[in-house]
Structure 1
Amino acid sequence: MKKLLAPMVVILLAATACGSGNYEATQIPPKVQPSQAAAAPPAAQPNCGNPLESYTPEGAMPQPLAMPDGSYMEKIQQRGRLIAGVSADSLNLGARNPITGKIEGFDIDMVKAVAKAIFGDENKIELRVISSPQRIPVLKNEQVDIVARNMTINCARWKQIAFSAEYYRSGQRTLVPRDETATSIKQLAGKTICAPAGSTSLDNLKKENPGAVPITADTDTGCLALFQSGKAYAITGDDTVLAGDAAQDPYAKVLKERFSDEPYGLGMSLKHPEFVRFVNQVLAQSKADGTWMASYNKWLAPALGKLAAPPVAVYGRTP
C-alpha cells in the first residue's frame, strides 16, 4: 500500500503572502472584474496559420541599458524594472521558496533572462502573482509586461495576445504511486484519477481511458492533496506540473508516456511586436549558450528526464 505523506507541504507551497524587499517582493495586481475576464475576444482572424510561428528577431541584440529609442524595451528600462505575471505555487515552474521567501523556478528563469538583457541585472523584476484565468486579462489591460505561467500557445489566444517562440514543449502525462507497474494511462481502468475541473487534461483523460473514474479539484494542488490522502489513485496533467507534484511526494512517480503536446510561450501584448522580437532574441541566445538547458536540468530534468535540445523556434508571423 502506498504510504501517505501529510499534505502540510502542499499548504505551504500554496501560500502567497507577500515577501519583503524591493523588486523581489510579489505584488498581486488589482482583482480582475468578471466583466473584464469574460470580455468577448476580438473578431476571429481569417487564418491563424501555424500557432507556433512568432515574430522574427531583427538586427543585433541591443546592449543592456541601451534599448532602441521609442521601443517598449526603452519604456521598461526607464521604469527601472520588468513586470511579470507568474505563479507562486507551481513547484519548479514558479513557486515561493519557503526558506528565502523568493519565487523561483523554470518560468522565473525565463523572466530573469529578459530582465538581464534589458538591464544587465536579472533581479530588476517585479513578480506579480496571477491565476491561470488572469493570464490574458492582465496583458490586455497592460498590468504586466510579460506572462511566464506555463501557457500553451494556440490560435484562440493569438487573437488576444502575442506569444514568444516556443520555450518549452510540455504534454499530458500521469503521476502514479511509485510501485505502480503500469506504463500507460490506458492500463489504469477502474482507478480514480484526478484532473483539474474544466481543464483540457480532464477531457483528454476521458478520451484516453473511458474506463477510469475521473475525480476533480479546483487546482493542481488540490489534486495532489487528494492523491496524498488516498482519495485519488493517480493525477493527470501537464508534465511540468506533475514534476512539481513528484518532488513533493517521494512515493510518487511520473509515467514516461505523454499523450498530448502543450507548447509553452511567453505571453505579451499584441501592441508591442518589437518587444516580442526582442524576447525571441533573448530566448534564442539562452538556448544557444546553454543557459536554457542549465535551467531545465535544474528544475525539470530530475522528474521528467534529460532532453537532447531545447524546442526549435518558428518565426515568420507578421503583426
Structure 2
Amino acid sequence: MKKQLIAVGSALTLLALTACGSGDYAATQIPPKPAAPTSTAPPPAGPTCTNNGTDELRSFAPTGALPPPEQMPAGSTMDRIYRNGRLRAGISADSLNLGSRNPITGAIEGFDIDMVRAVAQAIFGDPNRVELVVISSPQRIPVLQNKTLDIVARNMTINCARWQQIAFSAEYYRSGQRTLVQRDSPAKSLGDLSGKTVCAPAGSTSLDNLNKYKDRGVKAITADTDTGCLVLFQQGKADGITGDDTVLAGEAAQDPYARIIPNERISDEPYGLGMPIGNRDFVRFVNGVLEQMKADGRWKASYDKWLAPTLGPAPAPPKPLYGRR
C-alpha cells in the first residue's frame, strides 16, 4: 500500500505540473479541444497510398544543402517562421522522456523536444527560439490544418489517412505497442494476462489492438490519458498498461515496481513530425535537418539520453523514404 500511495502521488504530481503553458515565451493560448467527430472512421487513404510499410512513409525529399541559419530563402515558409521570431511547436508535457516538464527547472524536455529544437537551430542558429505549446492528442491535426502552429512533435504515427489532412516528415523513430506489468508479474506476453485488467487510452489504436485480446480473457479498461492509465495501474485497478514503447518507458521510469515485457511488439508505430499540408518547402527543410541529426550523432545522443535507460541500446535511425509528389 505504501508503494502504491507514493507512486500515485508521483503520477498526480506530473499531471499537475503539465497543466500549465510551456516554452521560452509567454504561454500561448491553446486551441479548444475539437468536438468529437460524428464518425470514428478515418478518411479514405486514397488510391496512391496504402499502409503497407512503404507508401505511407514516403515524404518530400530535401532539395540540396540546408541554407545557413538566419539566411532562409525569401518567401519560403522558413523565412516566414524566421520573421515571426520563433518556431511554434505543438508538444506533449506529460509524456516522460518524450515531452514533459522538468519539476526542478520547469523546462519541457525530451526526445520529441530535441527534434523541434534542432529545427529551430537550423532556422535561427538558436535551439531556444521555439515556442512550445502543450496540446492534446486530438488537437494534433486541427492545429496544423488551421495553421495555429508550424510543427507538431507529439509521438504521432504516420499513416495514409493522416496524410490526407497534414504533411509528415520522414520517419524519425520507429515505436511499437508493448505492455507494462508489475515487476514480479510472470507474464511474457499480453496474452498471458488472461483474467487480468489492462488499460489503454480511450480512442487510441492501442485500445483497438488490446480489444483483439478479449477472446483470450484479457479485460480492457480505459482512461482519458496515458498518465491516467498509470494512476489506475498504481492504484491496483489495472494489472497492466499497453501502449507505445516510448510512452511506457516514461511510465516505467516513474514506477520502480513496473517493467515492460521484453521481446513482444504488438504493432509498429512510425513517428513523423507533422506540418501543414501546404508547406512542402518546410517539410523538405525539416527532412534535411533530420538527415543531419542522424548523420552527425545528435539523433543517437538524444535517444541515449531519454530512451536508452528503459528501452535499451539505440537502434539504427530509421532510413528516410522519399518520392512523394
TM range (shorter): over 0.9
Match of 1:303 in 2: 310
CA offset digits 1:66-107 (Å, max 9, x no partner): 011110000011111000000111111111111111111110
1:79 partner letter: N
Q: 1:208 to 1:297 in 2, by over 3 A?
A: farther
Match of 2:254 in 1: 248
Tell me, in whole angstroms, the C-alpha distance in 1 between the residues paired with 2:297 and 2:146.
34
| Mapped contact 1:196–1:223 kept (Cα < 8 A) | yes
1:311 partner letter: P
CA offset digits 1:108-139 (Å, max 9, x no partner): 00000000000110000001110000000000
1:267 partner letter: G
Secondary structure, in 3 states, of the residue corresponding to 1:258? coil
Tell me, in whole angstroms, the C-alpha distance in 2 between the residues paired with 1:28 and 1:36.
23
Tell me, in whole angstroms, the C-alpha distance in 2 between the residues paired with 1:138 and 1:243.
27
Match of 1:236 in 2: 242
| Mapped contact 1:175–1:252 kept (Cα < 8 A) | yes
| Mapped contact 1:152–1:264 kept (Cα < 8 A) | yes
| Mapped contact 1:12–1:98 kept (Cα < 8 A) | no
1:290 partner letter: G
CA offset digits 1:128-158 (Å, max 9, x no partner): 1100000000001110000000000000000
CA offset digits 1:182-225 (Å, max 9, x no partner): 22111111111111122211121122463111111111111100
Match of 1:9 in 2: 10
Match of 1:153 in 2: 158
Q: Find 2:133's aligned residue among 110, 115, 128.
A: 128
Match of 1:91 in 2: 96
Match of 2:85 in 1: 80
| Mapped contact 1:37–1:137 kept (Cα < 8 A) | no
Q: What does residue range 112-261 of structure 1 map to in structure 2 within 5 Å?
A: 112-208=117-213, 210=215, 211-256=217-262, 257-261=264-268
Match of 1:106 in 2: 111
| Mapped contact 1:2–1:251 kept (Cα < 8 A) | no
1:220 partner letter: D
* The 10-residue stretch of structure 1 (162-171 or 305-314) with the greater mean CA deviation from structure 2: 305-314
Tell me, in whole angstroms, the C-alpha distance in 2 between the residues paired with 1:260 and 1:40.
20
Q: 1:252 to 1:57 in 2, by over 3 A?
A: same
Q: 1:270 to 1:261 in 2, by over 3 A?
A: same
| Mapped contact 2:28–2:133 kept (Cα < 8 A) | yes
1:112 partner letter: R
* The 10-residue stretch of structure 1 (126-135 or 8-17) with the greater mean CA deviation from structure 2: 8-17
Match of 2:30 in 1: 29
| Mapped contact 1:173–1:254 kept (Cα < 8 A) | yes
Tell me, in whole angstroms, the C-alpha distance in 1 between the residues paired with 2:149 and 2:193.
42
Secondary structure, in 3 states, of the residue corresponding to 2:323? strand
Secondary structure, in 3 states, of the residue corresponding to 1:56? coil
Q: 1:214 to 1:40 in 2, by over 3 A?
A: closer
1:176 partner letter: V
Q: 1:163 to 1:175 in 2, by over 3 A?
A: same
Gap regions ≥5 residues in structure 2? none
1:132 partner letter: S
Q: Find 1:286's aligned residue among 272, 293, 316.
A: 293
2:226 partner letter: D
- How much is the aligned-residue C-alpha RMSD, in angstroms? 2.3
* The 10-residue stretch of structure 1 (182-191 or 250-259) with the greater mean CA deviation from structure 2: 182-191
TM-score (norm 1): 0.93
* The 10-residue stretch of structure 1 (161-170 or 210-219) with the greater mean CA deviation from structure 2: 210-219
Deviation at 1:243, TM superposition (A): 0.5
Deviation at 1:40, TM superposition (A): 11
Tell me, yes or no, if structure 1 residue 71 matches structure 2 residue 76. Answer: yes
2:49 partner letter: C
Secondary structure, in 3 states, of the residue corresponding to 1:6? helix
Secondary structure, in 3 states, of the residue corresponding to 1:14? helix
Tell me, in whole angstroms, the C-alpha distance in 1 between the residues paired with 2:40 and 2:198.
33
Secondary structure, in 3 states, of the residue corresponding to 2:133? strand
Tell me, in whole angstroms, the C-alpha distance in 1 between the residues paired with 2:22 and 2:47.
48
| Mapped contact 1:19–1:101 kept (Cα < 8 A) | no
CA offset digits 1:20-53 (Å, max 9, x no partner): 8843x54242324538998998876332250000
CA offset digits 1:236-256 (Å, max 9, x no partner): 111111011001000001112
Tell me, in whole angstroms, the C-alpha distance in 1 between the residues paired with 2:144 and 2:232.
33
